[in-house]
Chains A and B, each alone.
Chain A
């Protein structure tokens, strides 16, 4: 595998984590357009810890996840008051605020960016991405996930049957934020340079795009979406100038024709039950 493809491979892993962060929050019916903000927090906190404090990367990533997760919970509480588009707008604003914050944080380089991180290999990135994907896939088979789906389908009814919708929605925000932070920390240590511009609105959109294209009802859909987003432009080289437009068209098509995304839950259920019957 050439270095070039290795780099792409790492990008898929990072995008996968970003997509999972959106997916977890979306599973409770909340759309976040500001997850790049959590990613930025993760990237900056992890880089600060490894470069300035000298902590090992593993510890730095976990701490970054905790910090961003806490921010996610703090954001999650007021977010309870907002639904649908209003939540989308508020999270969009949050993402832009975080970007603007790091733009002004001179101690971490401000607009000039921050570097000095030790490079990590794509394999390391995938160690994290794979584990978290596995974790979420396992979570999908748990009761907690059923409760999240209940909140997604009908929050009022979920409340009636005794679920604590507040805890479920806020935890989803916190967990999603933590995953986005790990994506950020890995991004920082793979690209060994970060600047606030890396974590703008477009990044948040990429995450959402990967989830919606790949499938918004199964975690593995995020993997398909992320791979599609990174590798499709590579296979369509002759098409290079138009690859973004192609994604735009694809997004509209998926929404029109197959709103659950390329993969969906029913597909997996069917195959599981078939296997059991045999």
Chain B
């Protein structure tokens, strides 16, 4: 992904838009992962950032053994799903009725554990994915798209569609939305809220894991620090999309991805993080319901 190109400005722009969308896809997935738990349970699961990193390593281990890419994605997702369910059982469920800060801190405990686990298993040096993965590129006029970029975007679309189907069309999804609306009323109506919490965590974990494998394909390397670098930034993406509406991330992900890539192209590489977090704070203060979210509600200030 060369940033300096000899193309005329317009093509550079197009090329960078493609790169921005790829990065944005990953952001979208992690942001969806955050907002599933946040939107349904009102809890910030900080461990998602490190689940994402863990997924990247699981995917890497599979790819490094020469096994096929789909298997890497499935492994990454399966691993993080299980961990997310453990987190729900230990860190969330017992603290559910406490002030929201308590479960957030306990998920933070898990994120510390996960990061330590990853550095002990895979070391703290960056690991390179096999370069031959990135050899295939398709040219469309003057822009070229790597096969891996297409994989990242394609997998994201499939996963988002799958999630949309689960949330909007299945009984589980209906129950999830009911719990999000009002947990107690949902329980009175016979929804097993406890089990659904577990489902929400599991779905969220699966998305984070998939995003992790994909970020490996985007950057071609995996480090233990992507959780903080990229995973935390997804919180900003979630906020921009609106914390209480899951689908805002679909717009905010590519938006922030493109914004980031463009700030880099136009000489703003150093101010990239500054811009992204600045936008997050502005949205939190001025439009807590997110850029999409219609009328302002109390939801944005949920204590």
CA A99 to CA B302, docked complex, whole Å: 28
Collect the chain A residues with CB atoms within 8 Å of residue B274's CB.
Answer: 97, 100-101, 104
Q: Mark B270-286, 1 if CB is under 8 A from A, else 0.
A: 11111001101100110
A249 in complex: contacting residue of B43, B113, B228, B273, CB < 8 Å: B113
Distance to closest chain B CB from A154 (angstroms): 11
A245, B112: Cβ atoms under 8 Å?
yes
Does residue A57 face the partner (Cβ distance < 8 Å to B)? no
- Assuming the contacts A83-B303, A103-B270, asked whether A88 and B101 have C-beta atoms less than 8 A apart, the reply is yes
B280, A93: Cβ atoms under 8 Å?
yes
B109, A85: Cβ atoms under 8 Å?
no
CA A248 to CA B119, docked complex, whole Å: 14
A97, B277: Cβ atoms under 8 Å?
yes
Residue pairs across A and B with CB atoms within 8 Å: the count is: 130
What is the size category of the interface that chain A forms with chain B?
35 or more
Distance to closest chain A CB from B16 (angstroms): 21
Collect the chain B residues with CB atoms within 8 Å of residue A94's CB.
Answer: 277, 281
A100, B271: Cβ atoms under 8 Å?
yes
Collect the chain A residues with CB atoms within 8 Å of residue B109's CB.
Answer: 247-252, 255
Distance to closest chain B CB from A275 (angstroms): 33
Does residue A96 face the partner (Cβ distance < 8 Å to B)? yes
B300 in complex: contacting residue of A78, A86, A200, A259, CB < 8 Å: A86
From 219 to 247 in chain A, residues with beta carbon under 8 angstroms from any chain B beta carbon are 241-245, 247
A100, B303: Cβ atoms under 8 Å?
no
Nearest chain-B residue to A205 (Cβ)? B108
Distance to closest chain B CB from A84 (angstroms): 5
Collect the chain A residues with CB atoms within 8 Å of residue B113's CB.
Answer: 244-245, 248-249
A82 in complex: contacting residue of B112, B270, B284, CB < 8 Å: B284
Distance to closest chain B CB from A214 (angstroms): 14
A104, B281: Cβ atoms under 8 Å?
no
Does residue A269 face the partner (Cβ distance < 8 Å to B)? no
Collect the chain A residues with CB atoms within 8 Å of residue B106's CB.
Answer: 251-252, 255-256
B288, A86: Cβ atoms under 8 Å?
yes
Distance to closest chain B CB from A19 (angstroms): 14
B105, A251: Cβ atoms under 8 Å?
yes
CA A241 to CA B115, docked complex, whole Å: 12
Does residue B117 face the partner (Cβ distance < 8 Å to A)? yes
Taking A88-B44, A93-B236, A93-B277 as known contacts, 8 extra A-B pairs with beta carbons closer than 8 A to each other, sorted by chain A number, are: A89-B280, A94-B281, A96-B232, A97-B277, A104-B270, A244-B115, A249-B113, A252-B91
Can you list 28 A-B contacts with CB-CB less than 8 angstroms, sorted by A residue number?
A85-B43, A86-B284, A86-B288, A86-B301, A88-B104, A89-B284, A90-B285, A93-B278, A94-B277, A96-B277, A97-B277, A100-B273, A100-B277, A104-B271, A104-B274, A201-B228, A201-B232, A205-B108, A205-B112, A208-B105, A208-B108, A244-B112, A245-B117, A248-B109, A248-B114, A249-B113, A255-B102, A256-B90
